[in-house]
A and B are shown apart, each in its own frame.
Chain A
Amino acid sequence: MILQNRKRRTAAITACLAAMLTGVAAGTSRALTTEEVLNYKGADREQVLIDGAKKEGQIVFYCALIVTQALRPIADGFMKKYPFVKVSYWRGESEAIAQKLMAEIKANNLQADLVEGTGVGEIVVQAGQAVPFYSPKLEEFPTEYRDSRGLWAATRLSYFALGYNTKLVPIDKVPKSYDDLLDPMWKGKLSWRIESASGTPLFITNLRLAWGEDRARAYLKKLAEQKIVNFGSGSARTLVDRVMAGEYPIAMNIFAHHPQISKQKGAPVDTKLLEPTATTAGTMVVPKGVRHPYGAMLLADFLLSKDGQALLANAEYFPARPDVPPIDAISHVVPRTLGVKDNFVSPENLNKYTESSEAIYQELFR
Chain B
Amino acid sequence: MSQIASSSPDIALAPPRRRGPRFSLPVIILSAILLVLILPPTIFLVKVSFYTTKPDGSFGDLTLKYYQQLFTGRFFFSSLINTTIYAIGSAFIAILLGTLQAIIVERTNTPGRKWVFLGAVISLGIPHVLYTVAWLLILGRSGPINSVIDHTFGHQAAINVYSMWGMTLIEGVGFVPLTFLLMSSVLRSTDASFEEASMMSGAKPTRTFWSITLRMGLPGVMALLLLVFIRAFESFEVPALVGLAGNINVLTTNIYQSSKGTGAMDYGQSGAYSVCLLLIVVGLLYWYNRLSRHAHQYQTITGKGYRPRVINLGKMRYFTAAALILMFMLVTGLPLVMLVFTSLQPFYEGVTPESFSRFTLENYRVLMGPGSFRDSIWNTLILGASTSTFVVPFTALCAWLAVRRKPGAWVLDQIATAPLVMPAIVMSVAFLYVFVNLPIPLYGTLLSVILASSVRFMPYGMRYAYAGVLQIHRELEDASSTSGARQGNTFLRIVLPLLAAAMISSWLFIFLLAVQAVSLPLLLVGPGTEIVAVTLFDLWQNGQVTELASMGITWVSLMIVVSACFHFVTRRYQVMAS
Q: Are A92 and B56 in contact (CB under 8 A)?
A: no
Contact partner of A194 (CB less than 8 A), chosen from B57, B257, B346, B433, is B257
Q: Are A111 and B526 in contact (CB under 8 A)?
A: yes
A-side contacts of B258, CB under 8 Å: 362
Binds B, one of A19-27, A136-144, A226-234, A324-332: A226-234
B-side contacts of A129, CB under 8 Å: 56
Q: Are B541 and A235 in contact (CB under 8 A)?
A: yes
Question: Scoring B residues 342 to 381 as 1 if CB is less than 8 Å from chain A, else 0, what string do you get?
Answer: 0000111110000000100000001001111000000000
B-side contacts of A262, CB under 8 Å: 347, 544
List 16 A–B pairs whose Cβ atoms lie within 8 Å, in order of A's numbering. A68-B371, A96-B523, A105-B56, A107-B437, A109-B437, A194-B244, A194-B260, A195-B261, A232-B253, A233-B244, A238-B541, A241-B348, A245-B140, A266-B358, A354-B261, A354-B262
Say if the beta carbon of A34 comes within 8 Å of chain B: no
Q: Are A100 and B432 in contact (CB under 8 A)?
A: yes
Say if the beta carbon of B478 comes within 8 Å of chain A: no
B-side contacts of A111, CB under 8 Å: 443-444, 526-527
Q: Which of A184-200 contact B (CB under 8 A)?
A: 191, 194-197, 199-200
Q: Are B240 and A103 in contact (CB under 8 A)?
A: no
Question: Scoring A residues 234 to 255 as 1 if CB is less than 8 Å from chain B, else 0, what string do you get?
Answer: 1101100100111100000000
A323 to B433: give the CA distance in the assembly, Å: 43
A336 to chain B, nearest CB (A): 25
Q: Are A232 and B538 in contact (CB under 8 A)?
A: no
Mark A residues whose CB is within 8 Å of B.
60-61, 66-68, 72, 88-93, 95-96, 98-100, 102-107, 109, 111, 119, 123, 126-129, 167, 191, 194-197, 199-201, 229-235, 237-238, 241, 244-247, 262, 265-268, 351, 354-355, 358, 361-362, 366
A167 to B350: give the CA distance in the assembly, Å: 12
Total interface residues on B, using CB and 8 Å?
60
A191 to B371: give the CA distance in the assembly, Å: 33
Say if the beta carbon of B314 comes within 8 Å of chain A: no
B-side contacts of A123, CB under 8 Å: 55, 263
Q: Is the interface of B mostly helix, strand, loop or mixed?
A: loop
A-side contacts of B240, CB under 8 Å: 232-233
Q: Are B142 and A366 in contact (CB under 8 A)?
A: no
Q: Are B372 and A232 in contact (CB under 8 A)?
A: no
A291 to chain B, nearest CB (A): 13
B453 to chain A, nearest CB (A): 17
Known: A89-B527, A234-B241, A245-B545. 17 other contacts (CB 8 A): A66-B538, A66-B542, A100-B432, A102-B265, A106-B57, A107-B436, A111-B527, A123-B263, A126-B55, A194-B260, A201-B261, A229-B247, A230-B244, A232-B245, A233-B240, A355-B264, A366-B257
Contact partner of B429 (CB less than 8 A), chosen from A60, A92, A99, is A99
A104 to B140: give the CA distance in the assembly, Å: 43
Interface Cβ pair total, 8 Å cutoff: 170
Say if the beta carbon of B474 comes within 8 Å of chain A: no
Complex: chain B residue closest to A100, CB-CB: B523
A207 to B528: give the CA distance in the assembly, Å: 42
B-side contacts of A167, CB under 8 Å: 349
Known: A262-B347, A267-B347. A88 touches B527 (CB 8 A): yes
Contact partner of B263 (CB less than 8 A), chosen from A72, A107, A119, A235, is A119
B-side contacts of A191, CB under 8 Å: 245
Mark B residues whose CB is within 8 Å of A.
55-58, 75, 136-137, 140-142, 236-237, 240-241, 244-245, 247, 253, 256-258, 260-265, 346-350, 358, 366, 369-372, 429, 432-433, 436-437, 443-444, 522-523, 525-528, 534-535, 538, 540-545
Contact partner of A90 (CB less than 8 A), chosen from B256, B257, B527, is B527
A-side contacts of B247, CB under 8 Å: 229-230
A130 to chain B, nearest CB (A): 12
Contact partner of B245 (CB less than 8 A), chosen from A88, A127, A231, A358, is A231
B137 to chain A, nearest CB (A): 7
B531 to chain A, nearest CB (A): 12
B-side contacts of A91, CB under 8 Å: 534, 538
A358 to B266: give the CA distance in the assembly, Å: 14
A131 to chain B, nearest CB (A): 15
Q: Are B347 and A266 in contact (CB under 8 A)?
A: yes
Central interface residue in A67, A100, A246, by most chain B CB within 10 Å = A100
A246 to B253: give the CA distance in the assembly, Å: 24
Q: Are A244 and B348 in contact (CB under 8 A)?
A: yes
A137 to B374: give the CA distance in the assembly, Å: 36
A127 to B264: give the CA distance in the assembly, Å: 11
Q: Are A232 and B244 in contact (CB under 8 A)?
A: yes
Central interface residue in B56, B256, B350, by most chain A CB within 10 Å = B56
Known: A238-B545, A262-B544. A127 touches B263 (CB 8 A): no
Complex: chain A residue closest to B238, CB-CB: A233
A111 to B538: give the CA distance in the assembly, Å: 22
